Amino acid sequence: MADSPAADFRCVSCRDLLEFVFPAWAYDAAALKSLWLNRRSSVGISSSNRLDQSGVWRFREMLPHIPEEDAITMGEGNTPLYHLQRCGRATGVENLYAKHQGMNPTASFKDTGMTFAASSAHQRGFRWVACASTGNTSASMAAYAARGGMRSLVLIPEGKISWGKLSQSLDYGALTCQLRTDFDGCVRILNDLVRQKPVYLLNSVNPYRIEGQKTAAIELMEQLGWEAPDHIIVPGGNLGNSSAIGKALMEMQELKLISRLPKLSIIQAEGANPFYRSVKEFGGEKIEPMTADTMATAIRIGNPASWKKALRALRATGGEVKQVSEVEIAEAKAEIGADGIGCEPASAVTLAGLKKLRACGFVKPGEMVVLILTGHVLKDPDFTIKFHRGDLFAGTPDERHAVHAKHLQRAPVVLDADLGAVIAALESEGDR
Ligand code: F0G
């Protein structure tokens, strides 16, 4: 039977940190912060330089130990924090920022957890790693496996993931199986497979994934000068990311790296809302798996693995959970795009959710809000092109509501190769 990553995993705790990394008497939050910042300016190509240059590994005091020689890194993390000016004005939250995790090596937030979990597979001597995915985990896993000289097996739902993501795992050399089922069906098969074959499971139930993903929140606090914002808003799918960010926030508070907790709110698509329903209908007592459906295919998940951890994060930080419609997602995505940033549909639920959190008074105008954008706009160009051409909702029950999104559409204009035609097009735009 395969070695389960959870079996021998001992999570780093703040106590470990204080007892083993820094003896309690010598612990100094300011010294830890400056150690991490110094590493960021590291130059050189030695393996320890490369660890210091990674936005994950430079925070290694907050992570379980993995030997340097097993680390597979592509300089992940170190992602930008953007001020969203137009979106801020439109939502009445001037202090609106986006932490763009789509600026990672394979263009999604998955790389921060994958560098760490793939390294743990390498340390254990696995030849094969595997995951079920809606496309981003598989792209990331395939890349890190290739970099570490391992083979990768990808299980994805047939026809329900974007071409951009599928093409990544093909190019990175994964054995890619498109199963005639949904994401949840892929997870079931994978769970059975790892009991029979010596493959290392790299879904987000792997605790090393969660540990690595914590660094997004640590890096965010560093970018904000260790002053926590009022709110952090994340998309919710399998709920690994919310769990990781929640865990990081609580650890940072315990270690006195930050003095207060931001509220962590989780947003789901209406058609893939088991966590929203768990909180709103069942008081978080249980989750009712569902058949999920949303055009934001990354979060088309009906039975989220990490819902209990996400619930803990939600409660500990006092966050909210909201659901948003398909049209609201499409509009929010175009608005983030119009701010010159762009993201994939699943990431845009954060802005759509912010509008709801503003409307109910949970987010107040003077507060600072950070949206976690999880994937790059080029992950799903089909969605973007269909939206701007006005085809995204054609023939769907949302067609009628989609008229509200018309003012955001920028369809390409096909013209003869004629200067006059281009000038006419320019003039007809006016100050739009
Ligand atoms: N945003 C994007 C772009 C994603 O790819 C995912 C999850 C999420 C948000 C939700 O994050 O699952 O931690 O709650 N994608 C997974 C995958 C499931 O297989 O790529 P979560």
Neighbours of 127 (CB within 10 A): 12
For a substitution probing ligand 1, which of 133, 168, 239, 241 has the most ligand atoms within 8 Å of its CB? 241
Query: Residue 288: what pLDDT?
Result: 98
How confident is the model at residue 26, as a pLDDT? 74
Burial 73-101 (b: 16+ CB within 10 A, else e): bbebbbbeebebeebbeebebebbbbbbb
Q: What is the best residue among 100, 106, 110, 329 to mutate for testing ligand 1's pocket, by most ligand atoms within 8 Å of CB? A: 110
Beta strands (DSSP E) in 183-278 are 199-201, 231-235, 263-269
Ligand 1 atom nearest to CA at 204: 13
How far does the centroid of ligand 1 lie from the alpha carbon of residue 262, in Å? 22
Q: Dig out the tokens for 173 from the structure.
A: 């050399």
For residues 419 and 248, give the distance between their C-alpha atoms in angstroms, rounded to a whole number.
56
Query: Which H or E run contains 5?
Result: none
C-beta of 243 in contact with ligand 1 (< 6 A): no
Residue 287 half-sphere exposure, CB side, CA atoms within 13 Å?
A: 21
How confident is the prediction along the chain (432 residues), in pLDDT tens digits per residue? 344 444 334 455 565 666 666 666 678 899 999 999 999 999 999 999 999 999 999 999 999 999 999 999 999 999 999 999 999 999 999 999 999 999 999 999 999 999 999 999 999 999 999 999 999 999 999 999 999 999 999 999 998 889 999 999 999 999 999 999 999 999 999 999 999 999 999 998 999 999 999 999 999 999 999 999 999 999 999 999 999 999 999 999 999 999 999 999 999 999 999 999 999 999 999 999 999 999 999 999 999 999 999 999 999 999 999 999 999 999 999 999 999 999 999 999 999 999 999 999 999 999 999 999 999 999 999 999 999 999 999 999 999 999 989 999 999 999 999 999 999 999 998 766
Q: Three-state DSSP class for 247?
A: helix
**Which amino acid is residue 167, in one-letter code?**
S
What's the pLDDT at 404? Answer: 86
Which of ligand 1's atoms lies nearest the C-alpha of 235?
9
> At 24, which helix (H) or strand (E)?
none
Q: Is the CB of 241 under 6 A from ligand 1?
A: yes
- How many whole angstroms separate alpha carbon 421 and alpha carbon 415? 7
CA atoms of 67 and 314, how far apart (whole Å): 33
Q: Sign of the C-alpha dihedral, residues 416, 419, 424, 426?
A: positive
* Pocket lining: 213 vs ligand 1, CB cutoff 6 Å: no
Place of tokens 């598989």: 138
For residue 31, how far is its CA from the centre of ligand 1 (angstroms)? Answer: 34
Is ligand 1 within 6 A of the CB of residue 137?
Answer: yes
pTM of the model: 0.95
Task: Name the burial class of residue 344, with classes exposed (0-12), middle (13-18) and buried (19+) by CB atoms within 10 angstroms of its CB.
Answer: buried
Ligand 1 mean position to 228 CA, how many Å?
24
Beta bridge partners of 96: 369
Locate the ligand 1 atom nearest the alpha carbon of residue 131 and give its number: 19
Does the C-beta of 55 come closer than 6 Å to ligand 1?
no
